[in-house]
Structure formats: C-alpha cells, structure tokens
Amino acid sequence: MYRPILASLAFILSKDKKSVLLVHRNKRDDDQHLGKYNGLGGKMEAGEDIFSCIKREVQEEAGIECENMELRGTVNWPGFGGNGEDWFGFIFLVHSYVGEPGLSNEEGDLHWKTIEELPTLPMWEGDKYFLPLVFDENPCPFHGYMPYENGRPRSWSCSRG
C-alpha cells in the first residue's frame, strides 16, 4: 500500500534573487542527509495544510517568516527514506520573507549559496533533475517521479501542465 510521508521543501531567495538559503546538514551523525546541502523543510503534521507546514518549518529552521511563496512543483520519491519509506514533497520557492535568518539550527549550518553554485555542492544525487525546474521561468508547476533504491535514484520522469 502506498502511504507516503508528506513533506515540504523550500528554497529561499536572497533579496537580490541571486542566492538561495540552504542548510548544510552537519550536526547529527545519525542524519541520513549528513554532509549534504538542502533546502529547508520537513514533514507535514496532522492538522496543517502544506502552506502552513512550509511556513512552520522555515520559522523553526531559519527563524524567518515566509511572505511570498510559490509552489514550483511536487516530487514523488518512492523508497527514499532510510528504511525504504516513500516520500512525497511539495517544492516551494520563497520570493520574500521577514526577519534575518539564523546562522544554524539543530540539523546544520545555514549558508547563502548562489543559484549557479548549486550543481557543485554535495546534495542528493537526484536533486540535479528537479532543481533547474525550481528556478526556471516556466510558470507551470512541475510534477516529478523519482524512485529510489539503496539511497540512489533509479529514474526520473516529469510533466508540466
């Protein structure tokens, strides 16, 4: 039976729109993301919608409040979890926020990285497939399917409306 973990993932743009706020997951030895850079976000909780989820996660992880956010797409990651759990992610681009981001959180250090730098950073192998779609000019959300096996993507397919 397919019962994915629902999650949010935000890429927060700098005020000049050239950089994005990422977490470098470097704080917990048991973290399956250890050493990787990632957007901010996490699991949706019972009783919240996906916009409430991403706003809460960004507040918890960076100490800022999202103002203008755009759903850029979704990705279905069957088998992604550490124990083979299925994940379904809603990917957001945050155009503006209130406050100043902190320097770190319980998962790792926060860094501003230019959008051009993203392909050179240690990230999940599958991120290279959907990240360009997060930052492109196409107004239609993307919807991807990326099954994982043994911590690696097996394939990638994507459609747009």
pLDDT in tens, 44-99: 999 999 999 999 999 999 999 999 999 999 999 999 988 889 999 999 999 999 99
Domains of the chain: 5-160 (3.90.79.10)
- For residue 154, report the phi and psi dihedrals to the nearest 5 degrees: -90, -35
Indicate if the pLDDT at residue 32 is higher than 90. Answer: no
Q: Around Cβ 8, how many Cβ atoms within 10 Å?
A: 26
pLDDT at 31: 62
Task: Decide which of 33 and 113 is more confident.
Answer: 113
pLDDT of residue 25: 81
Q: Give the chain's length.
A: 161
Mean pLDDT, to the nearest integer, of 7-21?
98
- Please, what's the b/e burial string for 64-102 (b: 16 or more CB within 10 A of its CB; e: otherwise)? bebeebeebbbbbbbbbeeeeebbbbbbbbbeebeeebe
**pLDDT classification of 5: cutoffs 50, 70, 90:** very high
Give the mean pLDDT of 143-149.
97
Residue 30, pLDDT above cutoff 80: no
- Name the pTM for this structure: 0.94
Distance in angstroms between the alpha carbons of the first and the last residue of the chain: 27
